[in-house]
Structure 1
């Protein structure tokens, strides 16, 4: 009795405010550590996501009777080939565009002089140099180039990433047995890990298909309008479509400026209209229909996760912001003490469904307790 009172005193000595401050301090320390360890953690995270994507085809090849080493190396070589081709195409296109920037700047100066003269006739004074800096196509492309260089910095660790992916895929087959030995609950723990991998796989597969469709149509649209470098704008639309909310806006700026420089404001508006239509169709119709409620994240949470992970890990964090937030959400669902945070991260429909499931889970417990109580009463009578 005395020990029970002491334990109650110890638990009451930590009020909710103290626990909140302790949790906040721990969160700040973890985030600071993540930012400090970015050179190590970012290649590791990229390796894990690549391994999750590659695991399904590896398991499929194993079921077809292909030995495990051949299946792993075959899938890894395929992923590596796609990545190398992608980098070569983007690199050569960026080099060609960089060489053409002085020519575009000269055209921009010629195009903007009549506009400045017309605005000054209306009584407004404009600084020509400042205006040219504001709409400089080189500046917008430098923003995109900085993002791509951030990805390139990660790819400098490509050998480390490649080895890590190979080792993870080799260990994947024995993962369930290791989890069972380590935690003593192989079914529960493995099902939770499978839920995470399935969610990430579904999201990345659907997002890749949608981004590929977006990139192809955008590339064909700007090519039909006669905009220079349609291949790079299609690739840029494909890549930046993985960044929610802001990616499609950033991808539209350079080709719109080129449309104005090459053909005038009418062609610029046509380019922008094409981007708006494509993103409305794929972003608001195709992607929600394919993804359904599998994402389960509110729009606000998606945007805040983009800002947070971008601040922590730069361009890679922006690209992987939604998958990483999904992993955090699923992990929070596994514990009753943190499930409320997962519900706050949910979209409205998904949150309501989670609450209903929770209430349904508690109903059998109530009925069972009532039956036990009735049984005890009958025994006493």
Structure 2
């Protein structure tokens, strides 16, 4: 080293080590910042994301109309009317039974609390223990900090159950109704924002995307970017339409079987289980719980009350184990554990709507990453066999 310096030779510095820990830290901080933004800006981002998924679903149909020289504005309005018409008709048919069950929620809650109180009294011993006398002057010091005040003498519970518990349940049901009514204006505003965004994305979205590809220099392969969007639109539309058809058939079969069993409001329960099935694992469990409640209301507390939930469980088992894997094939395979964690994440972020759009969003991200050859290890993890 000293000889090289004396001879005037330049000594190259040692190579710098890559700063992998710093990059990983920045990546985790970026991910946490994205989660923070998704959680606290959900009122803004929710209609935008749902509208983008819906526009991706309908864009291939608008492109087909465009080939026949149909203006995009007319085709977009026609598709929205064709989709919204049947849903409006179905909603008008289900409005009366849904309102009836909504009004019966406080009564059902009080009835269930009475049944639970009666079941609890059966489990308690018939002879109550002798009351212990507590001197009012003395107290009990909990962990040396809190002093417990002498308890008031307990009064005997009436024979028809604890009225305080029923009052609390009734009050809780009223609070839920008040919160739902208070959130109605915000929900309506988000719904109209969603409709406007879908319409504008279907009409002006393709031209904006084409301009983005041509103007921005970061997009080097212009044709590959165009093909990527078309492939994602086509495969996502195929997936959502297939799943929607399967869930519609599931709801129709469930409603038909429940109607044959003379279950009250069978059409309402069929539509409910069909919508809930868009959230795998979580939706069917909620559907079975609701059907158990409907069975208890109609048949009373007994084994007969479990029949509607048992019928739906059998139908859903056939659909989940045989129909859906056969129709979708291996290309749309999602690992159950990854899917459950994804559902929990989006349920925490955006509530019920987040759970419903979690699977289409995961499929969209997986397709985009697979076509762009990005994050291949994550794609293989999501598609890992059971």
TM range (shorter): 0.7 to 0.9
Task: Give the alignment of 1:317-336 within 5 angstroms.
Answer: 317-334=354-371
Task: Give the alignment of 1:204-353 within 5 angstroms.
Answer: 204-264=240-300, 265-334=302-371, 338-348=375-385
**Aligned residue number for residue 368 of structure 1:** none
User: RMSD between aligned alpha carbons?
Assistant: 3.8
1:185 paired with 2:221, answer yes
Task: Give the alignment of 1:357-376 within 5 angstroms.
Answer: none
Q: What are the superposed Cα offsets for residues 166-213 of structure 1, whole Å, 9 maximum, x if unpaired?
A: 121113453664354132422211222223222321221111111111
Q: Distance in 1 between matches of 2:177 and 2:250?
A: 18
Partners of 2:76 and 2:202 within 8 A in 1: yes
Q: TM-score, normalised by structure 1?
A: 0.75
Q: Distance in 1 between matches of 2:64 and 2:306?
A: 47
Q: Distance in 2 between matches of 1:76 and 1:318?
A: 23
**Aligned residue number for residue 238 of structure 2:** 202
Match of 1:170 among 190, 199, 203: 203
Q: Distance in 2 between matches of 1:176 and 1:109?
A: 57
Tell me the number of residue pairs that the alignment of Structure 1 and Structure 2 aligns. Answer: 339
Match of 1:33 among 33, 37, 52: 37
1:60 paired with 2:96, answer no
1:50 Cα offset (Å) = 1.5
Partners of 1:73 and 1:166 within 8 A in 2: yes
Give the 3-state SS of the residue equivalent to 1:35 in structure 2. Answer: helix
Q: Distance in 2 between matches of 1:281 and 1:195?
A: 31
**Aligned residue number for residue 157 of structure 1:** 190
In the superposition, relative to structure 1, how do residues 192 and 273 fare at CA in structure 2: closer, same or farther (>3 Å)?
same
Q: Distance in 2 between matches of 1:137 and 1:57?
A: 49
Partners of 2:338 and 2:382 within 8 A in 1: yes
1:218 Cα offset (Å) = 1.8
The structure with more helix, counted as a fraction of residues: 1
1:139 Cα offset (Å) = 8.5
Partners of 1:297 and 1:345 within 8 A in 2: yes
Q: TM-score, normalised by structure 2?
A: 0.74
In the superposition, relative to structure 1, how do residues 152 and 54 fare at CA in structure 2: closer, same or farther (>3 Å)?
farther
**Aligned residue number for residue 147 of structure 2:** none
Q: Could you list the runs of 5+ residues in structure 1 that have no partner in the other structure?
A: 350-381
1:298 Cα offset (Å) = 1.1
Q: Could you list the runs of 5+ residues in structure 2 that have no partner in the other structure?
A: 1-9, 128-156
1:306 Cα offset (Å) = 0.3
With 177-186 and 318-327 compared, the bigger mean Cα shift is at: 177-186
| Larger Cα-atom Rg | 2
Q: Distance in 1 between matches of 2:98 and 2:242?
A: 28
**Aligned residue number for residue 353 of structure 1:** none
In the superposition, relative to structure 1, how do residues 336 and 64 fare at CA in structure 2: closer, same or farther (>3 Å)?
closer
Give the 3-state SS of the residue equivalent to 2:57 in structure 1. Answer: helix
Task: Give the alignment of 1:60-99 within 5 angstroms.
Answer: 60-89=64-93, 91-99=95-103
In the superposition, relative to structure 1, how do residues 278 and 337 fare at CA in structure 2: closer, same or farther (>3 Å)?
closer
Partners of 2:72 and 2:202 within 8 A in 1: no
Q: Distance in 1 between matches of 2:177 and 2:238?
A: 28
Q: Distance in 2 between matches of 1:180 and 1:324?
A: 23
Partners of 1:309 and 1:318 within 8 A in 2: yes
1:43 Cα offset (Å) = 0.4
Q: What are the superposed Cα offsets for residues 133-171 of structure 1, whole Å, 9 maximum, x if unpaired?
A: 8xx99999x999999998995443222222211121113
With 316-325 and 88-97 compared, the bigger mean Cα shift is at: 88-97
In the superposition, relative to structure 1, how do residues 228 and 116 fare at CA in structure 2: closer, same or farther (>3 Å)?
farther
1:228 Cα offset (Å) = 2.4
